[in-house]
Amino acid sequence: MRYVILAVFLAVLAGAGAAGHHVWTFLTVPPEDPGHEVVVVIEPGQRFADVAARLVERGVVTDALLFTLYAKYTDLGGKVKAGEFALSTGLTPGKVLEVLTTSAGIQRKLSVPEGLTMRQTARIVEEAGFGTAESFVRAARDKALLEKYAVPADTAEGFLFPETYLFSRKPGNDAAYVVEAMLREFFRQAQNVWPVKPLEGKSLYEAVTLASIVEKETGVPEERARVAGVFLNRLAKNMLLQTDPTVIYGLGESFDGNLRRAHLDDPKNPYNTYQLPGLPPGPICSPGLGALLAVAAPEIHDYYYFVATGEGAHRFSKTLNDHINAVNRFQRKRTTSP
């Protein structure tokens, strides 16, 4: 009997030693050396046990149960973030857990140029993999989100600040977080545009509307303040703005790239500034910082007209007669002008 007890005791010690060695190996030795990068997506609300199983499946850790127990021991299991993470099979479990709980995840670039409409921006967001265009537009019309950022409109049109952003992709297809980031950036930039007395409400909406027209009318940064001055001069004299981009915006998806006389003569288009006085009902695109600054500090002058020279710039005129001469010189084949 004594020999039996001794044999059992030695077996227990051996088992404990083997288990201890397994745990020590799990914690200190990575699955591979050298390792290779593995991208793992963790869904919102996903159980930690499922996360552990996924990591084993991708070869990032070797034992799901030990990884779960280790997370509980370190009290980090509940701090794992949802997102897209770049891990490696050359990491120890402690380092893997550190990445999952402290890293922002993989940062991917989203470049949104100036002068895009809300729907054009939505398509870029979808193509970049940050959510569906439909969810982007839905968020851009969400009353609660617009109220949160004091957007004085029914949509975020004009307030989706064009910029290059870095995002960690969120699981799922909801692009609301992109809309929120762009709104947040707009109002951060607005503090630089109007640092002394920030605009809000109707004044802000009108400024953004005018800036959106300036954005679409010229790609030459040096001309923006002058173009803004032209439109302000015309508004002060109750002259029609007569700007093509507003008409095109009002045509929406039906515009085929050819602006016709019938379009300019149509008073039913609420954005037709050839027929309707004052500013259009709202922004026609998202203006960049340069266009916003141009409206905040327009050039003071006596110009009321401008026409494209065909080289990216414009010829500015003070009188209608001078403007007609400029049109004849630079755009003989064109039938309309700003």
Burial of 168 (C-beta count, 10 Å sphere; 0-12/13-18/19+)? middle
pLDDT of residue 16: 53
pLDDT of residue 77: 81
pLDDT of residue 12: 42
- CB proximity list for 75: less than 8 A, separation 6 or greater: none
Distance (Å, rounded) from C-alpha 141 to C-alpha 137?
6
Domain coordinates of the chain in residue numbers?
A: 31-105, 107-193, 201-330
Q: Would the CA dihedral through 236, 322, 223, 291 be positive or negative?
A: positive
In 3D, which of 242, 307, 316 has the Cα closest to residue 280?
Answer: 242
pLDDT of residue 3: 41
pLDDT of residue 7: 39
The yes or no reply on domain 31-105 and CATH 3.40.50.300 is no
What's the number of CA atoms in the CB half-sphere (13 Å) around residue 114?
Answer: 18
Q: What pTM was estimated for this model as a whole? A: 0.80
For the chain, list residues with pLDDT below 50.
1-14, 333, 335-338
